[in-house]
Each structure stands twice: as C-alpha cells, then as structure tokens.
A = this chain, B = another copy of it.
C-alpha cells in the first residue's frame, strides 16, 4: 500500500491537436510529482450512455451492427453519445428508441465508468430500462442494425465464450447482476 506515491499530475499546457467528428484529440503537457515533464495525447469525448433494455420476461435487448473501427459486426448493448449539455437519462431515452424501436417507462441508473481511461475522457453512464413498449424513432442515417433478445445467463455465457466482445457490454452485464429476478 504505497499510496503516498499516487497523486495527481499538474497540467502545464493543454492544446487541441485534431478536431474530428465524434471526438477531438488534445495534447496535455504534465508535470510529474518529481518535477519532470511528460506529454499525453487524450481523446476529448463528450461522454455517452449504455442502455440495458429488459422486457417483462427478463430478456435483454442487444443490437448487432458493423463497427468500422474494428472491421467486425458486433453484438452490443445499445448505446449513444451525449449531445452537448444533454442529460444522460434523456440520451438513454432517445437512443433506446432509435436503436431498438422500443421506449421505456422506467429507467434505473446502474452507475458510470471511464471506458478507456488510458487515453479517452469518455465517461459512460449505464441505465437499466424497463416497462418497455413499441415506439420506434428514426435512427441515424448510417445505422444498419438488428435487434436480438437474450436472457441474462445466455448473455453472460456468450460474453465468456467471446461471442459478445465489447467492453461496455461486459461491464453492463456485471452492473446488471442482481437486478433481474433469478
């Protein structure tokens, strides 16, 4: 327990180096506790939400979609990026409709985490969404997705088998543990 070693670094300089569509890259110059300087590249991300929609039978809605950054079609929990100053639960309510065609009467906040703290400022909020009803909302133009429903145990088994292999989905399943009847 060498906790005296752990402390925050002082930011000496912070500059935007690249402005992308979904994020920007900034470069921070930091002063280490021993006085040396170091430089970090950081993805400046507005934050996001992951939704865990669960129907009355206890099944979880997942979506399947192509992910250009991975070159693969992945099975994931629905999620979306926060718009500027957007309330995370409002974002969850919008994204569940866009991605699954369902709306939820009830949202329960399960927590939040840093998705990739080594280089991204993305803070990701998790909501359990229940009391679902059909209410499709036009999805973003480029979303070619399908919906698949899985029981909790089935989803966990698929995660352990590598059939669900997306960071937020595994984290969401851990946070969901204990929330569903049996």
Contacts and interface: CB of A to CB of B under 8 A. Distances in A.
A108 to B, nearest CB: 13
A21 B39 contact: yes
Contacts of A111: 159-160, 162, 165
Chain A interface category by residue count: 35 or more
Contacts of A3: 64, 146
A147 B7 contact: no
A165 to B, nearest CB: 4
Interface string A90-127: 00000000000000000000011111111111111000
A25 interface: yes
A121 B8 contact: no
A138 interface: no
B165 A170 contact: no
Nearest to A101: B2
B32 A142 contact: yes
Nearest to A115: B167
A38 B5 CA distance: 46
B114 A66 contact: no
A81 to B, nearest CB: 8
Given A40-B69, A69-B117, A165-B114, A175 B146 contact: no
Given A68-B42, A69-B40, A159-B174, A116 B113 contact: no
B175 A170 contact: yes
B174 A170 contact: yes
B7 A66 contact: yes
B145 A6 contact: yes
Given A17-B20, A22-B40, A70-B121, 4 more contacts: A21-B41, A36-B142, A69-B120, A113-B165
